Amino acid sequence: MIFKSPSPAVNIPNISWPEYFLQRMAPLNDQIALIDTESDRQISYAELKQHIQSVALTLQQKGYKKGDVFAIYAPNLLEYVISIQAILLLGGIVTTANPLYTACELEHQLNHSKAICLFTTSDLLAKVNPILNNAAVQEVFVFDDSHSFGSLLLANCDKVFRPAIIDPDKDIALLPYSSGTTGLPKGVMLSHRNLVAHNVQFEAQKDTTYPDNGDHLIALLPFFHIYGITVIMNLGLCNGSTLLITNGFKPKQFLGLIQQYQVQKAYLVPPVILFLAESPLVDDYDMSSMQYIMSGAAPLGEEQVLELRERISCTVCQGYGLTETSPVTHKEPDLLNTKLGSAGVLLPNTEAMIIDTETGKPLGFNQTGELLLRGPQVMMGYLDNPEATASTLDVNGWLHTGDIARVDQDGFFYIVDRLKELIKCNSYQVAPAELEALLLTHPAVTDAAVVPKPDKKSGEVPKAFVVVKQDISTDELISWAARQVASYKRIKEIEFIDQIPKSPSGKILRRVLRNR
């Protein structure tokens, strides 16, 4: 059975991302586009457009051309926004790297992507300078050096920028790398059409959940992550919002920005939502302006949603997506029609199937299986990795997500777990997310993660890593949980730890826990 979006199909313009982006920015001019919250620097939409065009022209004058790969290895900065959009205007390909990467991790991405130019900061350059000789990088531009990146803003106005001829369907725009929790990261090829489609699809539901003209959006999510690029940066700027650029999550700064700018909408990840729900710091700030919070990148416990709704009286919804889908494929359709625990409904022009994990047979409503997706926001494939591409994208265009899901009669999807993270206990499948959600309902538990533990008799049994906020013994917690689940789902061991290891996007690093 193929599930379709409840929203009518929308027209996707057959144009490049820069053409679409500049068209959307054109009427905004004197509105403030970006504010650097560290330095209070700000630039208007007119200035942003000028900077983008200047950098693109200077890069062209230096001999860079369509198809060249540019790596950005930096925290969130004003210059990040300028650079990524300028490179796309040039017809280049942007690959973004986590600024927490070690030199070796960056080296892998530079070599695999064949990046010939690197944008970074002076601190990060010092960290990775030794490996640059091992990569194909020909030139480095340093954001915080006026003689380096600053020179790109001084384009020769006598020269005319020659826009590249871009095929929206076939030309790569972004090359983010998947999380790499299993094996080396893979380069995800996102086309110009993917980016345009994502923007149009997200906005099509025309409700109050997307960035609007005059909104202040805290750019907390890292721009190296697809969520930060396409939801915060692209959607925000296309709709006339002002981005408040922050460098990492600093609790007091984050709360202060909400209060100072009367922030109404926030696009966050579960760890930040957990902070908002439980930190005593929140009581020291005025949160009354907040109307809507969207959570993505990882599942959010129902208990956390209820706690936050009660605490700051705002709507908290979940969305769903993958780097491979640009990323959003599901979100809540409106603030009056939400379902607790749901990732929402399919965006326009998006189709889904749920298939049996053993037989591959399509399933129907309220049946649990692997989620498959198809739509114009789905990636072209993995760079130079035909095997991984073939195992993820089938011949009919279906992307196999590796996520276990179900859909109800109203078209709302519920993500149960990752397929490859399922625990096989006595041949029964146990979903870690189900046990984690259960543990999070206990008043003594702050956070939890469940992983498989090898067992000679059962094959695998569930083991939980738990962060607690009040005294309780492991035996008490095991007994409490055992009373609420089937025998094969019972947690056999609990280990208390100070913090659950998670990626910058909020996903539990189960590999780290399994290897403890």
Asked whether residue 476 is assigned to any structural domain, the reply reads: yes
Is 80 within a domain?
yes
Contact assessment for residue 33 and residue 395, using Cβ atoms and an 8 Å cutoff? no
Least confident range of 19-28, 206-215, 366-375, 437-446: 206-215
Among residues 165, 183, 204, the one where a domain terminates is 165
451 in the same domain as 503: yes
What pLDDT digit, counting tens, does each position of 358-412 carry? 899 999 999 999 999 999 999 999 999 999 899 899 999 999 998 899 999 999 9
DSSP 294: E
Per-residue pLDDT reduced to its tens digit, 112-148: 999 999 999 999 999 999 999 888 999 999 999 888 9
- Please say if the pLDDT value at position 319 is more than 70: yes
DSSP 8-class letter at 241: P
- 46 and 121 fall within a common domain: yes
Q: State pLDDT tens for residues 353-371.
A: 999 998 999 999 999 999 9
Domain ends where: 145, 165, 185?
Answer: 165
Residues 22 and 161 in one domain: yes
pLDDT tens, position by position, 268-297 = 988 888 899 989 999 999 999 999 898 887
Residues 399, 426 within the same domain: no
Q: Would residue 194 count as lying in a domain?
A: no
Structure confidence at residue 316 (pLDDT)? 87
Structure tokens belonging to residue 23: 């068209």
Tokens at 42, concatenated: 């700000």
**Domain containing 138 — which CATH number?**
3.40.50.980
Note whether residue 8 is domain-resident: no
Quick: pLDDT tens for 18-58.
Answer: 999 999 999 999 999 999 999 999 999 999 999 999 999 99
Asked whether residue 365 falls in the same domain as residue 391, the answer is: yes
Q: How many domains does the chain have?
A: 3
What residue numbers bound the domain in which 118 lies?
18-30+42-165
CATH number, domain of 497, equals 3.30.300.30
Identify the weakest region by mean pLDDT among 50-59, 83-92, 184-193.
184-193
Q: What is the pLDDT of residue 181?
A: 35
Q: Tokens for 27?
A: 């009427």
Does residue 337 have a pLDDT over 70? no
Cα–Cα dist 341/415, whole Å: 8
Q: Is residue 158 part of a domain?
A: yes
CB-CB contact of 245 with 78 (8 Å): yes
- State whether 405 and 440 are in the same domain: no
Do residue 458 and residue 366 come from a single domain?
Answer: no
Whether residues 63 and 158 share a domain: the answer is: yes
Answer whether residue 311 shows pLDDT above 60: yes
In the block, residue with structure tokens 């925290």:
75
* Mean pLDDT for all residues in the chain: 91
Q: In the prediction, which pLDDT does 333 show?
A: 76
The mean per-residue pLDDT over the stretch 229-242 comes to 96
Residue 411 lies in a domain: yes
Structure-block tokens of residue 197: 């489609």
Q: What is the pLDDT confidence band of residue 183, given thresholds at 50, 70 and 90? A: very low
The CB density around residue 422, as the number of other CB atoms within 10 Å, is 19
Q: Is residue 504 part of a domain?
A: yes
pLDDT given at position 182: 44
Q: Give the separation between CA 197 and CA 202, rounded to whole angstroms.
A: 8
| Higher per-residue confidence, 336 vs 217 | 217
pLDDT value, residue 180: 35
Three-state SS letters, 38-91: CCCCEEEHHHHHHHHHHHHHHHHHCCCCCCCEEEEECCCCHHHHHHHHHHHHHC
Copy the structure tokens of residue 203. Answer: 């906005």
Co-location of 152 and 104 in the same domain? yes
Instruction: Return the minimum-mean-pLDDT range out of 110-114, 189-193, 330-334, 434-438.
Output: 330-334
Q: Which of 101, 130, 165 is the last residue of a domain?
A: 165
Distance CA 478, CA 463 (A): 10
Residue 60 reports pLDDT greater than 60? yes
Residue reference for tokens 């929790």: 181
In a domain, 353, yes or no: yes
The set of residues, in sequence order, having a beta carbon less than 8 Å from that of 496 and lying 6+ positions away, is: 465, 466, 467, 468, 474
Q: Looking at the predicted structure, is the pLDDT value of residue 494 above 90?
A: yes
Mean pLDDT of 342-347: 94
pTM of the model: 0.83
Say whether 117 sits in a helix, a strand or coil. strand
Domain co-membership, 358 together with 494: no
